[in-house]
Chain A
Amino acid sequence: MNSAPTTARQLGLLNCHDCHLLSKAPAGEEHEHLACPRCGAPLHTRKPNSLTRTTALVLAATIFYIPANLLPMTITSSLGTTQADTIMSGVIYFIQSGSWELALVIFIASIFVPMAKLLILTYLLLSVRFRSLWRPKDRTTLYRLTEMVGRWSMLDVYVVTILVALVKLGAVATIDAGPAAVFFAAVVVITMIAAESFDPRLIWDVIEEET
């Protein structure tokens, strides 16, 4: 018993999400409307409905991810010709024009990171649901990574904003934001909320219950 790690839950302690104060949970199982005595944030042993909420958000983001990649991100009209660019064709343009560093930055921020994030969250959800005991520490690290890098996908949304704002030269050329910009922004925001609603402590709960 002494060698087993002790968690806050085992001792009936609640860890405040906002100020990290440990407080004693009152007797009985009703923890519905508890508030942290120090900061007033709602207290839970685990984030409420974490799995269901995260699954729903990941599904929504996956659906939006498809039009975000297939539809044009920008529409450039210059001297009578119009050209629609998707995220991928933007990357290819940079490779062809010789700036492979930028192609890499955009590829990582707009294609690799969102995809990796969706895959990692899906994997984490499945691993908790099927009570996996495999490498909990590495899975927690994966989670932290997802939480950290997800915001960088906003890059392409900002690039579009700047292009649209700047290239308003009337007769010469205009750049308009395409429909994919909206879908893409939605993917980034939804996956950020999804990562926030996932509770990595669920990974460890399985380990404690099974051993």
Chain B
Amino acid sequence: MHIVACHDCDLLNSFPADATETRLCVRCGCVLHQYRPNSIDRTLALALGALILFIVANSFPFLEMKNGGFIQQTTLLTGIHELWKQQLYGLSTLVFLTCILIPFLQMIGLLYLLLPLKLGRSVPGAITVLRLLRHLAPWGMLEIFLLGILVALVKLGHMATIVPGTSVFSFGILVFVMAAALTALDRPLLWERLDPRR
């Protein structure tokens, strides 16, 4: 048996450690346990896929605007640079953090944790990385950025012709791969494997 205190209402819940179904807190309904088979392999594969898509998404312009003779191309980084040039430092830093740095750290963090675990080695700082991943989770906002691209596409529709580039499609797939990678991660299992007291 496994005893877990609910993080939303503090009630002690117990269930078999190898439960294959989702377990909810009996008092407040908070999700306490989810069955994640083959978690390490799955997360590793998805995180690697996400990293490749992320590099592609940032290497190509994600929008292209044709207006008369002008062709204006934008990658995510030029957008952030443009905000910086307009002295909106805070805003540009925020977009850089939530759309580039934090998703990148999440992918690298997952790979750093899981690759050595898969190979049966131990790496320094694994516990710090796992803690960091938990705190970064709400701040990676790729999926919201993708919706932002769609809204901007429609908004500019009347001003110019907009051709979505390779990057938009990579972003589109990346959002799902990234979400799948973070969902496949079995945190309780990792905590058990990384426990320094063992």
Residues of A bordering B, CB below 8 Å: 5-9, 11, 13, 15, 17-22, 37-41, 94, 97, 99, 102, 105-106, 109, 136-137, 140-141, 143-144, 147, 151-152, 154-155, 157-159, 161-169, 172-173, 176-177, 181-182, 185, 189, 192, 196, 200-201, 203-205
Q: Tell me, in angstroms, the Cα distance from A137 to B6 when the chains sit together.
A: 13
Q: Given A164-B83, A169-B67, A176-B86, does the pair A141, B29 have CB atoms closer than 8 Å?
A: yes
CB nearest neighbor in B for A9: B10
List 18 other contacts, CB 8 Å, given A19-B187, A166-B79, A205-B10: A20-B191, A22-B5, A40-B127, A102-B154, A144-B8, A147-B138, A161-B79, A162-B148, A164-B79, A165-B74, A165-B78, A169-B70, A172-B67, A177-B91, A181-B91, A185-B91, A192-B139, A196-B138
Would you call B95 an interface residue if the criterion is a C-beta within 8 Å of the partner chain's C-beta atoms? yes
Q: Tell me, in angstroms, the Cα distance from A192 to B97 when the chains sit together.
A: 15
Q: Smallest Cβ distance from B172 to chain A, in angstroms? A: 15
**Residues of B contacting A201 with CB < 8 Å?**
7-10
Q: Tell me, in angstroms, the Cα distance from A105 to B130 when the chains sit together.
A: 34
Residues of B bordering A, CB below 8 Å: 3-5, 7-12, 27-30, 63, 65, 67-68, 70, 72, 74, 78-83, 86, 88, 90-92, 94-95, 98-99, 127-128, 130-131, 134-135, 138-139, 141, 144-145, 147-149, 151-152, 154-156, 158-160, 187-188, 191, 195-197
Q: Given A20-B7, A38-B195, A163-B156, does the pair A151, B144 have CB atoms closer than 8 Å?
A: yes
B144 is contacted by which of A97, A102, A158 (Cβ under 8 Å)? A158
CB nearest neighbor in B for A99: B154
A39 is contacted by which of B70, B79, B131, B154 (Cβ under 8 Å)? B131
Q: Given A11-B12, A151-B141, A154-B98, does the pair A161, B91 have CB atoms closer than 8 Å?
A: yes
CB nearest neighbor in B for A203: B9
Inter-subunit contact B28/A140 (CB<8 Å):
yes
Inter-subunit contact A164/B82 (CB<8 Å):
yes
Inter-subunit contact A41/B79 (CB<8 Å):
no
Q: Tell me, in angstroms, the Cα distance from A175 to B197 when the chains sit together.
A: 57
Inter-subunit contact A168/B82 (CB<8 Å):
yes
**Residues of A contacting B80 with CB < 8 Å?**
161, 165
**Residues of A contacting B83 with CB < 8 Å?**
161, 164-165, 177
